[in-house]
A = this chain, B = another copy of it.
Amino acid sequence: MKTINIGIIGAGRIGKIHADHLLRMPGAKIAAIGDLFAGDELRSWAAERGIPVVTTNSNDIMEHPDIDAVLICSSTDTHVPLIKQAAANGKHIFCEKPVSMSVDQTREALAAVEAAGVSLQIGFNRRFDHNFSRVREIVSAGRIGDTHLIKITSRDPSPPHPDYIKVSGGLFMDMAIHDFDIARYLSGSEVVEVYAQGAVLVDPAIGELGDIDTALTTLRFENGALGVIDNSRKAVYGYDQRIEVFGSGGCVSADNDYPSTAVVSGPDGVTRDKPLYFFLERYKEAYMNETRQFIDSLHNGTAVPVSGHDALQAELIALAAKRSLQQGRPVKLAELTTGISSAG
């Protein structure tokens, strides 16, 4: 088995998580890590892990002759240029979601990837979660028959900092985009229409930045199924990530994960601990699995499990949701793919 040499661009929290998974993975080696703000701390972190190159210049990675693949973990505005550059240099690509805030730019990036014939996997980590993938398996196996309704609950334990909200692209593009992807993943069908309602119920500061913190988005799928996603930026009991798929033959649902199964019966009721706090805890294994499958697909020359098309579709749904919210009406995805996407 040839070793895949990896360059990581962006050494924030998620970049380091991917790094730690790759370090334990047979058949992969981290050849370099780059970050605009790389300093002593990152150098010493890399040294402890035997990562030979640390750089502030992504070209050092993009042009490194031994590097087979790059992980793009930098801020969203850098994704498209980095994808194009990586493709031009023949590197395979793993890119965090979303590819961009603009459908046109995402399309350009995808075209570059296709022209170069490299692999591009998108970081929709939830597809690799043990609960969601089990639900998908059950749906795919036909155990619930034809899909009629999909329900997704997706609530964060607390809102991000206002500085992040400003550049996040808004709740739909930043947070619900995962849910849009999961909706497609579970339904096995494309979304054709979106109606979104939003509200500022958690923190007025979010509203002042032009964003919402609570949303209810309904979806209509090509195969006739209906879907609904509810989002909140603040669930005081922790990360709330549940799904339900209802069909002609039954219903499958997945509950949250908990730190333990311990339950206390006492004079005030029967209590268990709160669900796992946030995505790092809940999707710990999912992050590992997605990286492993990326490396595996490179080794085996097989398709990556989450494609650029998947990124584009989720972004289209997010834009449709945004437009629906702004205009107070259901929006067909077709509207966004016929020369009017710039209004999104």
User: Which residues does A use to contact B, with CB under 8 Å?
Assistant: 24, 26, 48, 130-131, 134-135, 138, 143-144, 146, 148-149, 151, 153, 155, 195, 197, 199, 201-202, 214-216, 218, 220, 224-228, 230, 232, 234-237, 240, 246, 248-257, 259-275, 328-330
Q: Which residues of B contact A272 (CB under 8 A)?
A: 269-271
When the two chains form their complex, are residues B250 and A237 in contact, meaning their CB atoms are under 8 A apart? yes
Q: Which residues of B contact A254 (CB under 8 A)?
A: 260-263
CB nearest neighbor in B for A255: B261
Top 4 A-B pairs ranked by shortest CB distance? A250-B266, A134-B260, A237-B265, A255-B261
When the two chains form their complex, are residues B273 and A135 in contact, meaning their CB atoms are under 8 A apart? no
Given contacts A236-B267, A269-B273, A330-B195, contact A201 B262 (CB under 8 A): no
When the two chains form their complex, are residues A149 and B214 in contact, meaning their CB atoms are under 8 A apart? yes
Min Cβ gap A282→B in Å is 11
How far is B155's CA from A149's CA once the two chains are assembled, in angstroms? 11
Q: Which residues of B contact A235 (CB under 8 A)?
A: 246, 251, 265
Q: State which of B134, B202, B237, B253 has its C-beta within 8 Å of the C-beta of A267.
A: B237
| Highest count of chain B CB atoms <10 Å: which of A235, A266, A268 | A266
Q: Which residues of B contact A236 (CB under 8 A)?
A: 248-250, 266-267
When the two chains form their complex, are residues A253 and B263 in contact, meaning their CB atoms are under 8 A apart? yes
How far is B263's CA from A274's CA once the two chains are assembled, in angstroms? 12
How far is B183's CA from A146's CA once the two chains are assembled, in angstroms? 28
Min Cβ gap A283→B in Å is 14
When the two chains form their complex, are residues B138 and A262 in contact, meaning their CB atoms are under 8 A apart? yes
How far is B148's CA from A253's CA once the two chains are assembled, in angstroms? 23
When the two chains form their complex, are residues B273 and A262 in contact, meaning their CB atoms are under 8 A apart? no
Given contacts A274-B269, A330-B195, contact A251 B228 (CB under 8 A): no
When the two chains form their complex, are residues B255 and A265 in contact, meaning their CB atoms are under 8 A apart? no
CB nearest neighbor in B for A269: B271
Q: Which residues of B contact A275 (CB under 8 A)?
A: 265, 270
Known: A236-B249, A250-B267. 14 other contacts (CB 8 A): A134-B262, A155-B246, A216-B228, A235-B246, A235-B265, A236-B266, A237-B265, A237-B269, A251-B266, A253-B265, A257-B261, A265-B275, A270-B271, A270-B272
6 example contacts (A-B, Cβ-Cβ < 8 A) are as follows A216-B227, A216-B228, A226-B230, A236-B266, A252-B264, A268-B271
| Highest count of chain B CB atoms <10 Å: which of A151, A254, A261, A267 | A261
When the two chains form their complex, are residues B250 and A226 in contact, meaning their CB atoms are under 8 A apart? no
Q: Which residues of B contact A246 (CB under 8 A)?
A: 155, 230, 232, 235
How far is B262's CA from A253's CA once the two chains are assembled, in angstroms? 5
When the two chains form their complex, are residues A261 and B256 in contact, meaning their CB atoms are under 8 A apart? yes
Q: Which residues of B contact A135 (CB under 8 A)?
A: 260, 262
Min Cβ gap A192→B in Å is 12
How far is B264's CA from A235's CA once the two chains are assembled, in angstroms? 12
When the two chains form their complex, are residues A143 and B264 in contact, meaning their CB atoms are under 8 A apart? yes
